[in-house]
Amino acid sequence: VHVALEGDLVDAFRRQAAFSEAKAPLYRRICGIIADDPTLVDLLHAAPAEQRLPVLLLGVIHDLLLGDPTVPLAAYYPNLTPSPRSEGLEHVFRAFCYDHIDAIQMLLATRRTQTNEVGRSSLFLPALGVLAGEVGTLAHLDVGASAGLNLQLERFHYEYQPGGEVGSDSAVELHCGTRGDVPIPSVMPQFAGHLGLDINPIDVSDEAETRWLMACVWPDQPERFHRLQAAILLARQFPHRVIKGDAVDDLATTIDQLPQSGHPVVTNSWVLNYLPVQSQRRYLAELDRVGAGRDLSWIYVEAPVLIPGIATQLDDFPNEEPSVLTMVRWRGGRRSARRLATCHPHGVWMHWN
């Protein structure tokens, strides 16, 4: 069994290397080095069976480098140095791993890959602008908020290309390519407040937790890494609460905690795919229950093919694979849904319907 598992893991690293070919040259090389060294492949056995993914080991090694960016291996990481080295990677990488086997295994046993992608705020903003034009001040709840970084959306600077800029100067600059008639707001929507809900929130004031979030970003994407770092600093400066709780069971009570002076709007991005189909149905049912009693809006960025419990009930939206931005409104107890745009999962581009 052990040999078979190891064979599978070697294949997994080779597949990861092939997948990384174009956009992540450092990770392509590192995955090749690991695949050729049975001791390094074997490290992944320190992780629980369902977590034995190449990206987990890559994240753990990255996390240790972020903890000590003076080690020789850091000189190869494009996010840690302006002129990364290339020669001699294999020797330096293997030496680092062999020197840190205990630390690597300890992290592998306890960590799960985590993300919080602020680029998705570029997708939410036009929809929130349309909504604010209709209802005025908003009270915002982001479900599956992770570290709550998208709760900072009114503090980011946005550049839509074509389309123009929104927001004042910010350490977090988002760029989004547009197609179609994206209704880019001329002013930032007004918010009465922001709240997050997550089953496993990341505390932005905790160094180890945020370092791990940064370690899960690929070093071959330095811009994304630095943007995340800037967003974490912003969230420390202007903290918003992320309540620990379940997307379904705690949804209605969390909506109740939003300030009454704003129209309640729930957002979620790349969260519902983690819920079993039955829970996806219950999520929509909870929103319906709240929306039956008061006006409510819901804006989401999800891949329809992964959320049959939602999409099939809303209407006949196609079961698409790319992310889709959708707005659902409850007005006077009646629900209506509108598919607004197809988009890149991290908000790199959006194509308005």
Q: If binding is defined by CB under 6 A, does position 275 make contact with ligand SAM?
A: yes
* Minimal distance, residue 150 CB to ligand SAM, in Å: 6
* Minimal distance, residue 273 CB to ligand SAM, in Å: 8
| Helix 207-215 × helix 222-237 angle, to 10° | 160
* Minimal distance, residue 276 CB to ligand SAM, in Å: 9
* Minimal distance, residue 290 CB to ligand SAM, in Å: 16
* Minimal distance, residue 177 CB to ligand SAM, in Å: 19
Query: Which is nearer to ligand SAM, 17 or 275 (by Cβ)?
Result: 275
Query: Which is nearer to ligand SAM, 37 or 142 (by Cβ)?
Result: 142
Query: Which is nearer to ligand SAM, 97 or 123 (by Cβ)?
Result: 123
Q: Which amino acid is at 296?
A: L
Q: If binding is defined by CB under 6 A, does position 350 make contact with ligand SAM?
A: no
Q: Strand 334-343 vs strand 349-352: parallel, antiparallel, or unpaired?
A: antiparallel
What residue ranges in the chain does DSSP mark as E strands?
A: 138-143, 157-161, 164-166, 173-179, 191-198, 242-244, 263-269, 296-302, 323-331, 334-343, 349-352
* Minimal distance, residue 120 CB to ligand SAM, in Å: 5
| Window of 103-111, 127-135, 176-184, 263-271 that interacts with ligand SAM by CB under 6 A | 263-271
Rounded CA-CA distance 20/282 in Å is 37
Query: Which is nearer to ligand SAM, 85 or 175 (by Cβ)?
Result: 175
List binders of ligand SAM among 118-157 (CB under 6 A): 120, 144, 146
Query: Which is nearer to ligand SAM, 238 or 274 (by Cβ)?
Result: 274
* Minimal distance, residue 198 CB to ligand SAM, in Å: 4
Query: Which is nearer to ligand SAM, 146 or 297 (by Cβ)?
Result: 146
Which of 246, 282, 288, 337 lies at the binding interface for ligand SAM (CB under 6 A)? Answer: 246
Edge to edge, the sheet with strand 349-352 lists 164-166, 157-161, 173-179, 349-352, 334-343, 323-331, 296-302, 263-269, 138-143, 191-198, 242-244
Q: If binding is defined by CB under 6 A, does position 247 make contact with ligand SAM?
A: yes
Q: Is 144 exposed, middle or buried (0-12, 13-18, 19+ CB in 10 A)?
A: buried
Rounded CA-CA distance 343/325 in Å is 7
Q: If binding is defined by CB under 6 A, does position 37 make contact with ligand SAM?
A: no
Q: If binding is defined by CB under 6 A, does position 270 make contact with ligand SAM?
A: yes
Rounded CA-CA distance 191/128 in Å is 10
Rounded CA-CA distance 138/259 in Å is 9
Cis before 183 (ω within 30): no
With a CB cutoff of 8 Å and minimum separation 6, the contacts of 109 are 46, 47, 48
Long-range contacts of 157-164 (CB under 8 A, 24+ apart): 158/121, 158/122, 158/125, 160/122, 160/184
* Minimal distance, residue 316 CB to ligand SAM, in Å: 26
Q: If binding is defined by CB under 6 A, does position 115 make contact with ligand SAM?
A: yes
Tokens encoding 292: 């039956």
List binders of ligand SAM among 189-218 (CB under 6 A): 198-200
| Window of 3-11, 53-61, 115-123, 151-159 that interacts with ligand SAM by CB under 6 A | 115-123
* Minimal distance, residue 70 CB to ligand SAM, in Å: 30
Interface residues with ligand SAM (CB under 6 A)? Answer: 115-117, 120, 144, 146, 198-200, 246-247, 269-271, 274-275
